[in-house]
Structure 1
Amino acid sequence: MADDVLIEHDGDIAKVTLNMAEDGNRVSDPLATQLAITLRELAADARAIIFTGAGDDFCMGRSGMGRKGDGGSPEALDLRDNNEIIFDAYGAFRDIDVPIVSVVRGRALGFGCALAAVCDMTLAADDARFSLPEMGHGIMPTMAMSSLVDRLHRKAAVFMTYSTEEIDAHTALAYGLVSKVTAPGDLDAEVDKLIAALKKAPLPAVKAVKEFARNAFHNDIRTVNDFARNLHATVNSSSRMKE
């Protein structure tokens, strides 16, 4: 499993690559657990994390999805405990204090679509495709939907779930799933341009923007303004902004 995720460093920029191209970068539950641990460890020293998949596809979902076990249906408490692996993975993407940028080529399906969405920014090649196919496999996908609730427009998230349609990158951009779409040959240059902007900004500001984005968008405007006032004064007056 150690070779299933590649870690690279360029100064304080970390890159995490799902490295199971022959299997569409499908993620097993043990690998999802390791991915969450890896992200939290990298965040201690990173300014930002780039997250992508090797080969033709970003991530085609979870491995083993839709397979029936031999032991009958699990009890609800056991199922809930097992599902916590996925919620914890989503939580790692959301909760670490540095931004995560997903770079999507090819297909991002199911869990892969959720991971692309839950990143702070998503850059996609214009031939990328996104879908939530779970309903077509007899799975009610509120786990995947939970990654979308503060990312996508409500009607877009519901449509993707019910229809199970693959959407293209430009539709994903309109839905709020993707930040920017570019030609496949230009994607690496777009990533480099974003990294350069992140490196130019003071680290406390980089972290504060994620903190604000994580907490502001689901609150009422008065709470948001109070938080903005406090964070703006605290961070911009810090001597660490000049380091």
Structure 2
Amino acid sequence: MADPILKQKDGDITTITLNRPEDGNKQSDDTWAQCTEMLNTAAKESRAIVFRGAGADFCLGRAAMGQAGPVLEAYQVRERADIIFNLYGAFRNSKVPIIGVVQGRASGLGCALAALCDITLASDKARFSFPEMAHKIMPTIAFSALVDRMPRKAATFMIYSTQEIDAHKALSFGLVSNVVAAGELQGSVTTLVDHFKKGPMAAILAAKEYARQAFDMSVPAATDYARSLHATVNSYSGMRG
């Protein structure tokens, strides 16, 4: 049986691939916890991480958890939800950029992960949706992934309408970074990764750190932070190596 998630290293670029194409790359909670560990490890040993799905789709969310059992108490529900919140944290807290590659459908948790990537490249065949409300699921787990990634009106439209949107609409919503023809997607990934291979590691780390912090700051604070990083990193001898 194939591993549900694959990890491959090309020098200091790590690719993590969701590998259940027969089921839209849905993963069990145990496997999502494993994915969190993979991301945390990759962030310590890479200059960039490529995150993608095998087959026709990026990811259709969480795998079914079997037959319904007794109703869980609030604390148990919270423990189960923390598996996903910890996964979100691995994306948000990664010290290196994460590049998402979306070739087909990204639904529910899969759409949330596409949003959480620092850069998301999408095929013009890609589709994005949050169907939770249509399945009578209160969607704040998915919604929480969007609060620092998408404008409010775009996020609330997707959550409440449950509509599937195309890649160009996702681009206008700020959900993805760029849309290319399906046949050009891998070439676009390769070109982008090559930029990371050539860039000074100190600059890559500093730019990611700035992106993590600055958007929650006031403009004066973000300016002061930029001034400090600029002076510190650009005077570092490793930038001239």
Q: CA RMSD in A?
A: 1.3
Kept in 1, the 8 Å contact 2:18–2:54? The answer is yes
Distance (Å, rounded) in 2 between the aligned partners of 1:147 and 1:140: 14
Give how far 1:236 is off: 1.0
Distance (Å, rounded) in 1 between the aligned partners of 2:67 and 2:168: 36
Give how far 1:93 is off: 0.8
Cα displacement string for residues 48-73 of structure 1 (whole angstroms, at most 9, x for unaligned residues): 010100000000111126x76221x2
Aligned to 1:69: 68
2:137 is paired with a residue whose SS is coil
Aligned to 2:44: 44
Find out whether 1:228 has 2:223 as its counterpart.
no
Q: 2:216 aligns with which of 209, 215, 218?
A: 218
Q: 2:94 aligns with which of 96, 109, 114?
A: 96
Aligned to 2:25: 25
TM-score norm. by structure 1 comes to 0.96
2:208 is paired with a residue whose SS is helix
Kept in 1, the 8 Å contact 2:98–2:119? The answer is yes
1:222 is paired with a residue whose SS is helix
Aligned to 1:185: 183
Distance (Å, rounded) in 2 between the aligned partners of 1:128 and 1:77: 37
Give how far 1:135 is off: 0.3
Letter in 2 for 1:43: A
Distance (Å, rounded) in 1 between the aligned partners of 2:163 and 2:193: 32
Aligned to 1:206: 204
Give how far 1:159 is off: 0.2
Distance (Å, rounded) in 2 between the aligned partners of 1:146 and 1:171: 20
Letter in 1 for 2:4: D
Runs of 4 or more consecutive aligned structure 1 residues displaced over 4 Å after TM superposition:
none
Give how far 1:242 is off: 2.5
Distance verdict in 2 for CA 1:30–1:170, change over 3 Å = same
Output aligned runs, 1:87-236, within 5 Å: 87-236=85-234
1:15 is paired with a residue whose SS is strand
Aligned to 1:59: 59
The runs of 5 or more residues in structure 1 that have no matched partner are: none
Kept in 1, the 8 Å contact 2:4–2:27? The answer is no
Query: Could you tell me the percent identity over the aligned residues?
Result: 55
Letter in 2 for 1:222: P
Distance (Å, rounded) in 1 between the aligned partners of 2:182 and 2:54: 14
TM-score norm. by structure 2 comes to 0.97
Cα displacement string for residues 122-160 of structure 1 (whole angstroms, at most 9, x for unaligned residues): 000001000000000011111111111111111000000
Cα displacement string for residues 60-88 of structure 1 (whole angstroms, at most 9, x for unaligned residues): 111126x76221x2111111121111000
Q: 1:80 aligns with which of 56, 66, 78?
A: 78
